[in-house]
Amino acid sequence: MINKNQSPDQNAKEAVLNHCRTLEINPWFIAKINNPPDLHFLYASFYLEGINIYQFSSGQVTLSQSYDWEDFTEATADFFALNTKLVLDGEHNRTTILMMDSGKKLLPHLQSYTSINVTVIDRPWWRKIIGFRSNTKWKMVIATAIYLVLASKVVGAYNTSNVLTSSATNTSSYTQSTPVTAPATVDTEYTLVKKEYLSKGTKLFIEDLDTPKLVLAGSVLGVNPNYVDTNGNKYFGISFEESDTKNKYWKDVNQMIKANMWYVKTSEIKQGEAQQSIEKETPKGYEWKLARGYLSIGVKLYYGSGENKMYVGQILDMEEKHYDPNIGKTFRAVKLKMYGGSVEWKDRTAILTGDWYIRSDDTALPK
């Protein structure tokens, strides 16, 4: 439904976000794009598996294109004053996406959650301005002339305004100026993130690619040096909550360190070993049992081997034939409410044949 109190752009993004949620996709963010060679604007949903590009017309959302991160090995980000040019390269294909907003949000996600090698084109500030971006001489000459004309008009209007104000105002020969107090700088020292600096409650800051400032990205909910995700990947992980969207998920700290753009406040650094404050339990009075044969609604699933079993989520539903429109496949599926709060469908066969476990004292187990 169109909200008349919102801009068309806001309505489109909200519609795309709601559409993604009905498909149980949890986007990192929705961005307005102009996908060359198309001339019309589209909207892209960037999420863990890839990119879905949608058309929005008359209140209806229609999938236009879909890309998987695993199809690409290289990404080049070119940040301009008004947009971001993203070029994705793979073994058999190349895709260019012109992001009209939110370009700076994508880089840390690509570096943290994909194996894509990301390159940021380093430009001086003046080469981000329209007319100077291509470094073509004739374009720069024309742009300079236009900007000079505009600047002269602004200066002329300003001088005219000052003359009128001076003639209309009767002032004394002495004017006392009000001193300007510089804003207080509170805790301006930051340090690149290290594993030993992370603990529950640590605030993380990230470089704003459009300005020389650091912005608050989110905070740490918990730390686990031996985190194992649902795909069996093991890494030093933190449970992370974004400051703006309040989305919660796990991040690979090694990837964050490699990105060289994540910071903590120096004054808040807590030396020593990182705290393991995630939902990791030491078996007491119960046994671990392989999940096969125990799948039922309400049962909690864990993943891992040895003592490194991590809570993944709770079973909400199961389907013998679940169709996933994102991959175009039908499979036996288990619907899980994940640790971070999201809802995802998992391949039931993978659960039955992998290192998935339940606890013998789970009250949801059939008696």
- pTM of the complete model: 0.39
Residue 184's pLDDT is what?
35
Angle at 194 between CA 188 and CA 198, to 5 degrees: 85
Over residues 197-239, the pLDDT tens digits come to 888 888 998 876 555 678 888 888 888 877 777 666 778 888 8
Residue 278's pLDDT is what?
36
* Below-70 pLDDT ranges, the chain: 1-4, 35-40, 81, 122-147, 149, 153-188, 208-212, 230-232, 270-284, 305-308, 339-340, 367
Alpha-carbon separation of residue 63 from 156, 165, 306, 326 (angstroms): 50, 57, 43, 10
Distance between CA atoms of residues 295 and 357, nearest Å = 10
Ordered alpha helix ranges (H), the chain: 8-22, 103-113, 137-168, 253-259, 348-353
Residue 316's pLDDT is what?
93
Over residues 11-28, the pLDDT tens digits come to 889 899 988 988 888 899
CATH of 8-124, one of 2.60.40.10, 2.30.29.30, 2.60.40.1120, 3.10.20.30: 2.30.29.30
Alpha-carbon separation of residue 299 from 75, 96, 349 (angstroms): 41, 44, 17
Query: 31, 51 in Cβ contact below 8 A?
Result: no
Query: 84, 77 in Cβ contact below 8 A?
Result: yes
Q: What is the CATH number of domain 190-268?
A: 2.30.30
CATH topology of domain 288-359: SH3 type barrels. (2.30.30)
Residue 47's pLDDT is what?
92
Same fold, 8-124 and 190-268: no
Residue 261's pLDDT is what?
78
Cross-strand partners of 214: 207
Count of other CB atoms within 10 angstroms of residue 62: 10
Cross-strand partners of 357: 290, 302
Going from N- to C-terminal start, the domains of the chain cover: 8-124, 190-268, 288-359
Residue 147's pLDDT is what?
59
Residue 158's pLDDT is what?
55
For residue 37, cis peptide bond before it (omega within 30 degrees of 0): yes
Query: 15, 61 in Cβ contact below 8 A?
Result: yes
Cross-strand partners of 240: 220, 249
